[in-house]
Amino acid sequence: MTDISGLEPVATFCGKCDCGCPELFVDPGAPVERRVVLTDDFGQRVQMSADQFSSLVDDAKNGKLDGIALS
């Protein structure tokens, strides 16, 4: 499981079970380019800048990621 100590929780995705759902955190101690942290239920994590995360959110809002949910 991924160590999340020191991370500030932002959101849990799914949350309907107790299987370690993906979560979004902010790591205030990380360099700016790695401050946003997304964990999955397999113990992996992705770190990105706030600008990169903002771009991802914009793409999702504009429907660019809709095809993934239908796969």
Q: What is the pLDDT of residues 25-45, one digit of tens each?
A: 999 999 999 999 999 988 899
Round to whole Å and give the CA distance between 33 and 12: 22
Stated pTM of the model: 0.82
Q: What pLDDT does residue 54 have?
A: 97
pLDDT tens over the chain, length 71 residues = 567 789 999 998 886 777 778 999 999 999 999 999 999 988 899 999 999 999 999 999 999 989 887 75
Residues in the chain: 71
Q: What pLDDT does residue 15 have?
A: 65
Q: What pLDDT does residue 41 have?
A: 84
